[in-house]
Amino acid sequence: MRGIKIIGTGMYVPETIASNDWLSTFLDTNDEWIYSRTGIRERRISTDTPNFVMASEAAKAAVADSGIDPSEIDLVLAATCSPDYFYPALSCLVQHEVGAQNAAAFDINSACTGFINALDTASRFLEDGDYRNILVVASERLAPHCDYTDRSASILFGDGSGAAVVTKSDKPMWSYLSAKGDFFNALYCKVDQSRANCPLLKPDIAPVGIIDNEAKTHTLQMNGKAVYKFAVEAMDSAVRKVLERAGLGLDDIDLYIPHQANARIIESAVKSLGIPADKVYVNLEKRGNTSSACIPTCLAELKQAGRIKDGMTICLVGFGAGLTSGAIVFNQ
């Protein structure tokens, strides 16, 4: 039987606050539009801190909170879609910074669903028995990848990192993971190959999507309406499917932690599921959408506030580029 216990959490957000009012100094937008359509008032932007430093700060805080020594970490899993380097993996940089010299390390990229996929992977390594303590970190520095002339996408995103140290538990966990690659072009960011200098190369042949803009091939491109529609259905469906696997009902969950993309998406999913709003944690007013980092950041805030208690049944649910989605239910 698979089971995880979160023994430590940590988070890091950059100092610089980017408010809706600041965005409206150079974009045709305003605080009223952004807040009423998204629930976001401000987000943090990392002006000069690389992703791996942010990730490492969150990871160090999680390890300190867990009380274990870094040498006791057997595996570092990092989720990111905005790494500083193609390679080495972000997890290797975090392993180095944290001093987890005995750990294996690799990355997972499923965009905003990254932490769910990484935590699910961690649970399977823990089941194996060779791995006792796993550091799962999700970290994003999205500002360099956003197009700050695109008012419908750039207003959503923020930078931040969250981490959890997990160990095997004798209480059960369940997961449901999904991907719909047919919708890859609803949300994507192409690798910029424009500076390649191999004389044999033909012009960029990477797949292009319906909303591709040749002038901005290296920035995040999003069909907001398509993602919105997918998100509401995917969150509802992932929660119902994981609960079916668990043999639990919606009322058996003590705390729901959804991906923080848009307050309206969360409200619609909550309404269609019929969950009481006070069981759902939302922090996007001050954080914006930090992609894979949203859920572990919520976990860290909740744990620090004493709201994660032993014996609780917690449901994590997310969606993101891919289009991917997934949910995890575990007894803490």
289 assigned to active site: yes
Contact present, 126 and 4 (Cβ < 8 Å) = yes
**Neighbouring residues of 270: CB distance < 8 A, sequence distance ≥ 6:** 256, 277, 280
225 binds ligand UT7 (CB under 6 A): yes
Active site residue 315: no
Beta strand pairing status for 173-179 and 324-331? antiparallel
List 7, 8, 10, 29, residue binding ligand UT7 (CB under 6 A): 29
Enter the DSSP assignment of 113: G
Among residues 5, 132, 228, 248, the one that binds ligand UT7 under rule CB under 6 A: 228
Provide the mask over 99-138, with x wherever binding to ligand UT7 is found by CB under 6 A and - wherever it is not. -------------x--------------------------
Q: Any contact of residue 151 with ligand UT7 (CB under 6 A)?
A: yes
As to burial, measured by CB atoms within 10 angstroms (0-12 exposed, 13-18 middle, 19+ buried), residue 201 is exposed
Can 112 be counted among the known catalytic residues?
yes
Instruction: Name which of residues 265 to 294 contact ligand UT7 (CB under 6 A).
Output: 289
- Out of 47, 149, 152, 194, point to the residue binding ligand UT7 (CB under 6 A): 152
Residues in Cβ contact with 90 at an 8 Å cutoff, skipping those fewer than 6 apart:
51, 52, 55, 78, 80, 83, 84, 107, 137, 139
Tell whether residue 149 is a contact of ligand UT7 (CB under 6 A): no
The two structure tokens encoding residue 130: 């060779």
Helix axes 90-98, 51-66, angle to 10 degrees: 50
Minimal distance in Å, beta carbon 34 to ligand UT7? 6
For residue 185, state whether it binds ligand UT7 (rule: CB under 6 A): no
Interface with ligand UT7 includes 66 (CB under 6 A)? Answer: no
Query: Would you tell me how many other CB atoms lie within 10 Å of the CB of residue 203?
Result: 6
Total residues interacting with ligand UT7, rule: CB under 6 A? 20
Instruction: Please report whether residue 35 would count as binding ligand UT7 according to CB under 6 A.
Output: no
148 near ligand UT7 (CB under 6 A): no
**For ligand UT7, which residue of 33, 35, 106, 148 counts as binding (CB under 6 A)?**
33
Identify the active-site residue in 185, 259, 262, 294.
Answer: 259
Residue 237 contacts ligand UT7 per CB under 6 A: no
Q: Are 239 and 300 in contact (CB under 8 A)?
A: no
Task: Decide if 119 contacts 265 (C-beta within 8 A).
Answer: no
Residue 171 and residue 331 in contact, taking contact as beta carbons nearer than 8 Å: yes
Per CB under 6 A, 231 contacts ligand UT7 = yes
Positions that interact with ligand UT7 (CB under 6 A): 29, 33-34, 37-38, 112, 151-152, 155-156, 222, 224-225, 227-228, 231, 261-262, 289, 320
- Catalytic residues, by residue number, are 112, 259, 289
